Each structure stands twice: as structure tokens, then as C-alpha cells.
Amino acid sequence: MCDTVAFPAAGAGPALFGKNSDREPGEPQLIQYVTVDSVIPDEVRAAGEKPAYVTDALPVLRSALASLRDGGRSTFGALISRPSWMWGAEMGVNEAGVAIGNEAVFSRRRSPGKPLLGMDILRLALHFSANAAAGAELIQELVAQWGQGGDGGWKHKTEYSNSYLVQDRTSAWLVETSGSRVRCRRTDAPVGISNTYDGDNGWGSWPNLKRTDERRLFAVGARGRVRNELKRPWLEGSRPMSRVTDMFALLRTHGRSDGSMRRGMGSICIHTGRLIKSETTSSMVVHWHPDGPVAWATGSSWPCLSLYKPFVIGAGNPVIAGTDDQPTAILLRERRERIGKWANSHPRLFANSALRLRDETEARFLNLVYDRGTTPLGGVVARCHELEADYMEQVEAGMG
């Protein structure tokens, strides 16, 4: 399960996008800069992890990708958060400043045959869209031509339709799908989505997918409505959304006034429980700064226990493993995960010994990025990731 929010620029306020990706516990999710040619479908290292993806999803992806290439569209590189076993992405932002996140929604309808996986659709839209309107239009085209659905689970089969938030600096587009059906609308106001269809407000003549297509018991179990309520104070303005750190706070929330950890599906930051086999495995924030969009990502599970780090939305990330070096990227994630698992098992110890250091390190990142003057962002990002290594060493020393 997931949560995505979009805050298009309004007045003097910033444009911000954020998503928590909630997946099966332990699934590796990698932060990588990719072009449309990076990790081409035939080379996805998936055979040992998800054979059905290679058999069912890759052939239709190859066809869709070839069709888009033949159309002569411009292409864009993108910074993505990608489950290691697939070509597609849970979320990302491209070099044109288009950010996209998706959500599982539960429909009675299925696309016939072997359709495109929702996360492959998301990455295709990032690579071929110059603005948010174009991204929303392309998602509709892909669903109409190829259908969408398929098995999006890692170790357990999970089939679902998708909703998407597509944002650039000035606008956001909500796209909902139900099998091969699709509807789309623009909003210039803050908007959030979760694992339930939107109601009929603002959709005009589009079909009401919530009333006609939603599998209500699945939607209730996913608790998307509950998490949408948790977002409401930020979306409606009773809690501020004027800085990057406000988006960090939203994505870290458990809905408790004392800020304490909460397990189960009723949190934005999800921690698995006895009966709940889902958790937040990656988190990303995009800020459209006057100098250009800046991405912040955890590269690890549980944002409430993790460190948001800056990334370049381009090829200038000297400190993160490239797409052609997946084993190194996984090792870096595993180190972050060891700290997260310790903190998740010992939340009071983390709060007493590491939380202040985490917040101080993040504050240094923010100062380096936004007070850098004429220093290239790539150099600042490299310094921030050096500081992350120092942070991890200090926390590891106290883990015992």
C-alpha cells in the first residue's frame, strides 16, 4: 500500500511532491538515475526473484517501448525508486521536472491478456513526458492500448489496478484506472491519493469508478481512506507545507499526537505487524526549487527512522551506484536497512541515542543544498553522502 501527495506551486508557496512506497517487508528498492536505455527490459535481473515478471510482463513492455520509440517522442532521464526485480518504478522525477507516483486500487475489472504492469507504465511516462499534462495523457494512451494490471507483488502474487499522481511545478493530474478503463482530471490545489478510488467530486462526466468498480472489502482492508484522513491537515492548510521538512513530517507521520511509532496500515509511515505484511520500503520528496527540481529520498524503509538525502535529477550523482551496478546499490541499501531494523526493534533507544543526530545531519544537508551559492549541486550531493556515511558509522557504533 502507498501514499502520494502533490502540492503544485501556489502564490509564494513551494511546489512539493511526496510518496511513501509500501511493499512487502525486505523487498530491495533502489534509488537510481536511469535513461530509457538503462537496464533495458531483457537485462532486468529478475529471473531469480520473480520469474513470472520475465515471462508475463517483459514481452508486453518490450512491445510498448518499441511503439513509443517508433513514434519519435523526445526522451528524458529520470531519478527513480525501483524494486530490484522489475524495470518499472514506484515513483520518480524526470529531467523535465515531471514527478509521478502510483497507488494500488482494487477493481472488479481486469484487462484481458497480459497487460502492462502499473510500475512499468509509470517509468514509461517519466521517460516520454515533457510536462505533467503529457504524462497524464500518455498513461491514458498506454492503458487504452495495452491494458494494465498484472502481478505487482514480490514474493506473493498481488494483482491490482492503479491510480497515479502526475505533477510538475504548476499543476497535478490524477489518473485512475480500472482494468482497461481510465479517467483523468487536473487539479491546481493540493491533492493526495491512497489505496482507494476517489469519489465523484470534480470528475465531471467521467465514470464514478469508486461506485461502479471498487472492490470495497479490499479497499477497507487497505485502509486508504484512513490514511487520506491523516493527510487532510496538510492538504487543507491547517498544518504548514511551506518547506521540504514539512513534507518529511507528513511522510513520517503515524497519526499520533505524541509522534510515537504505530504499527499497522493506519499510518502514513507503515510498520509491519503480526497480521500486516506491508511496510514503507522507500520514500521520496521532490521540491521544485527556483534553480530546478531537487529530489530527496531515504533509500531505505521507514522514513520515521531514516535519513532523507538529496539526489541530482540527472547523471551527476557521483555517490550512488549506477543502474549497471545493482549489487553495489543493494549493499548500500542493506547497510541502511540494518540501522532501520535495529531502530524498528528498539524505537526508544533510537529516539534517545540517534534521532537527534539524524535530525542534525538532515539540517546540514538542507543548508548545504539550499545555501550552496554557485557550487554545483552534484558536488554538494557528494558531500551529503559522505556525511551520511559518518552518520551511519556513529549510529552503528551505538547499536552494539
CB 256 within 8 A of CB 263: no
110, burial (CB in 10 Å: exposed 0-12, middle 13-18, buried 19+): middle
- Indicate whether 249 pLDDT > 70: yes
**Residue 8 within any structural domain of the chain:** yes
Q: What is the mean pLDDT of the chain?
A: 89
**Residue 167 within any structural domain of the chain:** yes
**Residue 164 within any structural domain of the chain:** yes
**Residue 318: predicted pLDDT:** 64
pLDDT band for 48, please (50, 70, 90 cuts): low
- Across 57-71, 123-137, 325-339, which has the greatest mean pLDDT? 123-137
What residue numbers bound the domain in which 128 lies?
Answer: 2-321
**Residue 383 within any structural domain of the chain:** no
**Residue 150 within any structural domain of the chain:** yes
pLDDT band for 41, please (50, 70, 90 cuts): low
**Residue 69 within any structural domain of the chain:** yes
**Residue 343: predicted pLDDT:** 94
| Arithmetic mean of pLDDT, 318-333 | 72
**Residue 166 within any structural domain of the chain:** yes
- Exposure class string for 287-309: b at 16+ Cβ within 10 A, else e: bbeeeebbbbbbbbbbbbbbbbb
Contacts of residue 395, defined as CB under 8 A and 6 or more positions apart, other chains included, come to 339, 353, 354, 357
| Arithmetic mean of pLDDT, 3-12 | 88
**Residue 296: predicted pLDDT:** 97
**Residue 357 within any structural domain of the chain:** no
* Active site residues per annotation: 2
CATH of the domain at 231: 3.60.60.10
Question: Rounded to an integer, what distance in angstroms lies between the CA atom of residue 333 and that of residue 58?
Answer: 25
pLDDT band for 226, please (50, 70, 90 cuts): confident
DSSP string, 335-352: HHHHHHHHHHH-HHHHHH
CB 198 within 8 A of CB 182: no
- Domain count along the chain: 1
